[in-house]
A and B are shown apart, each in its own frame.
Chain A
Amino acid sequence: MATINDTEKADAPRIVLSGVGKWFDDLCVFQGVDLDVGKNEIISIVGPSGCGKTSLLRCLNGLLKPDQGQVLVDGEPVLGPRKSIAMVFQDFGLFPWKTVLGNVGYGLKVRGVPKSEIRDVAQHFIKLVGLEGREHAYPFQLSGGMQQRAGLARALTVNPNVLLMDEPFGSLDAQTRELLQFELLNIWSENPTTMVFVTHAIEEAVLLGDRVVVMMGRPSSIRTIVDVPLPRPRDPSTIASAEFQQIRHYVWELVMGVERGRSDGAAHVG
């Protein structure tokens, strides 16, 4: 959701990663990560399990401190959790003791927003993600898809400049997943915001992203950034287009090819 003063420096990137690296003790997870993310851009990140995608997101929202380089959001270094950054978690991350309403309103509550306002805002986003009527249900009474809708609504309530998504649909069944991908696209086109979307699914990465970042190696770094010049709004017909399939295949080859190259011990030239 763009605010007025965004227009001042409309072309200044929302996120700037420069030379970012992270160690856990002597294990270097990733290093030399350079990436600019523009306002209202959607960046997908794909990469093998353990390559540090979650850790990178955690550096982005200030839950982790990078050991190297710098993370800037809106021109300022991220030193801790920030109001303008919200995260959606792979395991939904809902509090089991809170209802949908309580969970969705959580971000506003810890910000000290008055109760009645929390209610209104939460209700708005509950409706937006299609959970109307389930406000008083607890997470255990919801399907995975519904829980993640609540997780998404919770992140949206705080009106984030940056929305970080850590494999949000990774644990959902294929149908629900596809449904939510398109709903997310719809929500985004009505409330555009900068989004960093981590996923294992190449098709999902291409469908959502303006660019797809491929992370590789050990320690990992950005191997390639693939442009996805597909028109928006994107819908199910996008997937059927030849161009989509081409890009999807290209990213697939990048991801798989490099993997195969490494296990063969042969150098792979991209």
Chain B
Amino acid sequence: MADLTDTHPDRAAPGDPGPTPRSSPEAKAARAIGRMWRSKSVRTRLGTFVVIMTAWQAGVMMFGRDYMATPLGILAVAPEMLTTDAQLWNNTRMTLVDVAIGLGLGGAAALLVGIALGQAKTLEAALGPYINGLYATPMLAILPIFTLWFGFSEQTRIALVIFSAFPPLAIGAWDGSRAVSKRYLEIADSFGAQRRHVWLGIAVPASLPYLVAGFRLASGRALTAAVVVEFLTAVDGLGIYAMTLTTTFRHDEAVVAIAILSIVGVLLTVGVQKTIEKFLPWYGNM
């Protein structure tokens, strides 16, 4: 695998002394910071961040009320909250576990159904309209039915997460597996590949870009679904916790809770994509 990275032009920049053996962690960290600082995009991001935070701080100080969240206020409460607020982490865990379960179940089902739909014409004709219908159904509309079935409970949260995550990933897998190049199918055919080889070995990897796009949508919708359920059924979780903090005028704390949701969202979308790019070097070179 070592030769895989050889193709990256930025690996061995001219003048780079290269990895010195046994360099200390401090030296490594210093070099990493130096590298980041030399990177234009990092500087741009840092600059934008400072501008936005300053504007926010100044805006609230000039025009806002004193309970409103400000960057400095958040900075003041965040360390203690993140280290000692057991409730914050309990709620985070409850929400995220259900999001993970829902995304996992919904995602696995979506992958199966989507790939099958794209590869089997009959199945597509039979089930396609329902998948499209599910995708178009507003998730909120179904929530009362779920609460009737499952009560004001965590099951309702999982159910709505599944319901929200399933359609976009199913449609992604469906589109992707329908768009699998005829070339690949012909090659598989010429070696006498059976259906299961084609579905798993070709349709899935060949539609990976579609799956990633579908997963991005699905994970965003999954988080939204979890928070919505908490708001409307008062099931414990990060969403309701943020709401409680907000209604009790602890807005700096509320922003910390909301930020955790955002970070998880980013990890699920960008993080998954980056991980795939790192571990599947062919992704993007198809």
Contacts and interface: CB of A to CB of B under 8 A. Distances in A.
B206 interface: yes
Interface string B177-199: 00000011011111111100100
Contact of A111 (B3, B192, B285): B192
Contacts of B201: 109-110
A46 B152 CA distance: 74
Interface in B94-147: none
Contacts of B193: 110
A110 B285 contact: no
A109 B193 CA distance: 9
A33 interface: no
Contact of A158 (B191, B194, B202, B285): B191
Contacts of A111: 191-192
Interface in A135-164: 136-141, 158
Nearest to B184: A95
B192 A138 contact: no
Contacts of A63: 186, 189-190
Interface string B243-286: 00000000000000000000000000000000000001111011
A153 to B, nearest CB: 13
A82 B286 contact: no
A118 interface: no
A196 interface: no
A61 interface: yes
Contact of A140 (B1, B194, B202, B282): B282
B205 interface: yes
Most A Cβ at <10 Å: residue of B190, B192, B208, B283: B190
Contacts of A81: 189-192
B180 to A, nearest CB: 11
Contacts of B183: 91, 93
A80 to B, nearest CB: 8
Contacts of A136: 1, 3-4
Contacts of A97: 205-206, 208, 280, 282-283, 286
A256 B280 CA distance: 48
A83 B193 CA distance: 10
B44 interface: no
B115 to A, nearest CB: 15
A121 to B, nearest CB: 14
B39 interface: no
Contacts of A96: 282, 285-286
B7 interface: yes
Nearest to A85: B190
Contacts of B205: 95, 97
B198 to A, nearest CB: 9
A76 to B, nearest CB: 15
Given A91-B183, A95-B184, A140 B190 contact: no
A136 B283 CA distance: 15
A110 B282 contact: no
A205 B178 CA distance: 38
A89 interface: yes
Given A95-B202, A137-B4, A110 B186 contact: no
A137 B282 CA distance: 10
Most B Cβ at <10 Å: residue of A61, A63, A110, A134: A110
A14 B3 CA distance: 43
Given A97-B280, A138-B285, A140-B282, A110 B192 contact: yes
Most B Cβ at <10 Å: residue of A81, A97, A140, A141: A97
A251 interface: no
A136 B285 CA distance: 16
A107 B191 contact: yes
Interface string A94-109: 0111000000001101
Contact of A87 (B4, B190, B202): B190
Contacts of A91: 183
Contacts of A86: 190-191
Contacts of A93: 183, 186-187
A169 B173 CA distance: 35
A137 B7 CA distance: 11
A155 to B, nearest CB: 9
B273 to A, nearest CB: 16
Contacts of A95: 184, 187, 202, 205
The 10 closest A-B pairs by CB, nearest first: A140-B285, A97-B205, A110-B193, A107-B191, A81-B192, A138-B282, A93-B187, A96-B286, A110-B197, A87-B190
27 contacts: A61-B190, A63-B190, A81-B190, A81-B192, A83-B192, A87-B190, A93-B183, A95-B187, A95-B202, A95-B205, A96-B286, A97-B205, A97-B208, A107-B191, A109-B197, A110-B188, A110-B194, A110-B201, A111-B191, A136-B3, A136-B4, A138-B285, A139-B282, A140-B282, A141-B3, A141-B4, A141-B7
Given A97-B286, A109-B197, 13 more contacts: A83-B192, A87-B190, A95-B187, A95-B202, A97-B208, A106-B191, A107-B191, A110-B188, A110-B201, A136-B3, A138-B4, A139-B282, A141-B4
